[in-house]
């Protein structure tokens, strides 16, 4: 019988076994508790960490909708591009590949090296918006850890012509192609759509082994049709640019409206910027001044003063007003007419000759509260409601704060501030026989009902006055268009000093607002030239010619019938030879073009200019 091993005969002391069992029990309890805590409290975190190590999520960018003009001509489109990404933890570069990658990406090698050296990052963009040709050069390097995403780059075919209106897009946080200005910003939600996502699996080396585990398709953006007519937009931009350059002006703006539906057919600013380039980084160049900036309208406000006085019954078109010697004193202020030759003027002549004194005398016959109410109904102090970012509502102070001189200066366009778009909309009242419409930047088939502002009789009376402005004796003969009757009003206003009280001495804004054909208005056109310095400063000499060129070409291109009677020309044939002596004389009736001298108003080669106001 064998003897047992001595170790088997050893016995542990009871307290030692108790300690060991206790420690084992504590360890088991600790492990169970830790597992329970991880499973409950840290479950989401751990699951996310595991997914990051085995899953890859690729954003499927939504295709941004197009912006087109009213006829479908593209104004903004998105072109597919490629973004190169990398996981620095899995990028393995062979000798010479860093330089080759930097060359293919067209980025500095040092910046690329720093990006790939940061292994704390699991994802980094190396370059955005590569063409397919550039992306193929990167793919040809066969570098592990690189990935490629499809993204889109916005392109603007009309460039500077529509830059201020259409705007541009840019990157915001992790989103590309986000609307940053103009229509792109105003309708970003509808144009941008919603990105999708594709989830796949990758191995420990970062290689994708299943790229279609889960797919959430993107919801592409919708196309947007603007009310703009690209042909008319080009004409307006071209003529505005030429006028700004020719008059050595600081800038200018132009707005064209469709009288029938209130849609904006053209809207341009100069200086311009190209939304396809880096110029868009300068807010001074990208601001749409026709919608955002304010100015004192000057004498383009006088037709509203006349309309108010006519509506209140204090004057009629042929009512004569005594303008004295062309000056009027109120308190310590003296208002003057620059070119004063007629003492007693009818209301029509006050508008035709742009008399400050005549205008203020009409306004003083109306209570300030009623005066404010009329201006408000015409749309002053109220945003046009286009939805354009930063749209201005203008400045119209409450009537209770007015001093006597305030009502006086407002009658001829000082002490109130408007945008060019507001001014164009206000003239809808005269073109539409007394009612107005909301202004729209997008094309719509909806028929809107006009809102009555003044009576149709008053609107037609003022329209006749505005027509006289473009005829002999008026301040805007340069706005006349052969074959068409034209109505409108000039404005010349001093600019307010920036950071100081009062007006600048040599800084003016010249403007003209009008419509045609006057018999059945089709288009309204408002032109503003900021600080002309080539000699001429008046609206009739600086802004009215732009109106004539743009409106004339628009009417001809759109085939709008003439409404001005053309002169009748009679053939001027030589007289027949005298009959032979033996032939009985015959009585011949002949009409010659120069038989009767022309009678009428003497021609005025240089119409009186309006006062700087």
| Residues taking part in catalysis | 299
CA-based R_g, the chain, Å: 38
Per the structure block, which two tokens stand in for 290? 């026709």
Q: Which helix (H) or strand (E) holds 430?
A: helix 428-431
Asked if 464 and 317 count as a contact pair (C-beta separation under 8 A), the reply is yes
3-state helix, strand, coil in the chain (%, to 5): 35, 25, 40
Is residue 371 a contact partner of residue 409, using CB atoms and an 8 Å limit? Answer: no
Q: How many CB atoms lie within 10 A of CB 212?
A: 9
Backbone angles phi, psi at 79, to 5 degrees: -110, 135
Place of tokens 């109130």: 416
The C-alpha atoms of residue 108 and residue 103 are separated, in whole angstroms, by: 8
Report the 10 Å Cβ neighbour count for 107.
15
Q: In whole angstroms, how far apart are CA 49 and each of 45, 206, 326, 379? A: 6, 15, 85, 60
Closest C-alpha among 593, 608, 514, 581 to residue 554: 514
Measure the CA–CA gap between 186 and 460, rounded to whole angstroms: 37
SS3 601: coil
- Structure tokens, 402: 């007015």
What's the Cα-to-Cα distance from 269 to each of 322, 343, 491, 549, rounded to whole Å?
41, 40, 19, 17
Nearest to 228, CA basis, from 561, 554, 556, 562: 554
Beta strands per DSSP E along 101-249 = 124-130, 146-155, 168-172, 175-181, 196-202, 208-216, 224-225
Contact between 538 and 610 (Cβ < 8 Å): yes
CA 457 to chain CA centroid, Å, is 34
- Residue recorded with tokens 């909301």: 438
- The helix/strand count (H/E) of the chain reads as 21, 21
Do the Cβ atoms of 135 and 82 come closer than 8 Å?
yes
Torsional class of 390: left (φ above 0), alpha (ψ -120 to 50), beta (otherwise): left
Distance separating alpha carbons of residues 490 and 267, to the nearest angstrom: 19
Question: How far does CA 608 lie from the centroid of its chain?
Answer: 35
């Amino acid at each position: 019988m064998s003897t047992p091993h001595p170790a088997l005969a050893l016995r542990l002391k009871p307290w030692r076994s108790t300690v060991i069992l206790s420690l084992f029990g504590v360890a088991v309890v600790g492990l169970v508790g830790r597992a329970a805590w991880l499973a409950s409290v840290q479950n989401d975190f751990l699951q996310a960490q595991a997914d990051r190590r085995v899953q890859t999520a690729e954003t499927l960018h939504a295709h941004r909708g197009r912006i087109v003009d009213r006829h479908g001509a593209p104004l903004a489109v998105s072109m597919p591009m490629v973004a190169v990404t990398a996981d620095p933890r899995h990028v393995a570069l062979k000798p010479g590949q860093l330089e080759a990658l930097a060359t293919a990406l067209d980025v500095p090698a040092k910046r690329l090296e720093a990006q790939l050296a940061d292994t704390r990052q699991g994802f980094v963009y190396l370059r955005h918006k590569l063409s397919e040709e550039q992306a193929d050069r990167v793919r040809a390097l066969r570098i592990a850890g690189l990935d490629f995403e499809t993204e889109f780059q916005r392109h603007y075919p009309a460039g500077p012509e529509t830059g201020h209106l259409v705007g541009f897009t840019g990157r915001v946080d992790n989103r590309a192609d986000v609307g940053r200005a103009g229509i792109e910003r105003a309708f970003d939600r509808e144009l941008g759509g919603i990105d999708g996502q594709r989830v796949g699996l990758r191995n420990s080396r970062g290689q994708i082994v299943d790229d279609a585990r889960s797919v959430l398709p993107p919801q592409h953006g919708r196309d947007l049709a603007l009310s703009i007519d690209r042909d008319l937009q080009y004409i307006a931009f071209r003529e505005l640019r030429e006028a700004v350059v020719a008059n050595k002006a600081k800038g200018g703006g132009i707005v064209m409206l469709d009288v029938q539906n209130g849609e904006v057919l053209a809207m341009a600013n100069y200086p311009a910027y190209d939304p396809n380039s880096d110029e868009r980084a300068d807010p001074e160049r990208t601001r749409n001044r026709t919608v955002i900036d304010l100015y004192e309208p000057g004498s383009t406000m006088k037709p509203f003063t006349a309309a108010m006085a006519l509506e209140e019954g204090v004057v009629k078109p042929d009512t004569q007003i005594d303008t004295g010697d062309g000056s009027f004193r109120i308190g310590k202020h003296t208002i003057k007419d620059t070119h004063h030759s007629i003492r007693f003027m009818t209301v029509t002549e006050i508008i035709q000759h742009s008399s400050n004194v005549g205008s203020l005398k009409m306004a003083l016959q109306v209570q300030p509260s009623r005066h404010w109410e009329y201006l408000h109904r015409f749309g002053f102090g109220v945003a046009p409601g286009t939805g354009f970012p930063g749209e201005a509502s203008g400045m119209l102070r409450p009537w209770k704060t007015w001093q006597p001189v305030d009502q006086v200066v407002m009658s001829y366009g000082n002490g109130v501030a408007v945008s060019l778009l507001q001014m164009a909309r206000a003239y809808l009242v005269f073109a539409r026989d007394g009612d107005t419409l909301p202004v729209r930047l997008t094309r719509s088939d909806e028929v809107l009902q006009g809102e009555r502002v003044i009576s149709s009789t008053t609107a037609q009376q003022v329209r006749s006055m505005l027509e006289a402005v473009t005829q002999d004796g008026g301040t805007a003969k340069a706005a006349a268009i052969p074959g068409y009757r034209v109505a409108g009003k000039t404005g010349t206003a001093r600019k307010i000093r920036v950071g100081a009280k009062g007006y600048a001495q040599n800084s003016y804004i010249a403007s003209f607002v009008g419509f045609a054909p006057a018999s059945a208005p089709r288009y309204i056109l408002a032109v503003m030239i900021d600080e002309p310095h080539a000699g001429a400063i008046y609206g009739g000499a600086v802004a009215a010619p732009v109106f004539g060129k743009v409106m004339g070409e628009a009417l001809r291109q759109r085939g709008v019938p003439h409404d001005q009677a053309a002169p009748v020309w009679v053939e001027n044939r030589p007289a027949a030879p005298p009959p032979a002596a033996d032939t009985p004389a015959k009585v011949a009736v002949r009409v010659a073009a120069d038989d009767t001298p022309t009678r009428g108003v003497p021609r005025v080669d240089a119409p009186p200019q309006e006062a700087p106001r």
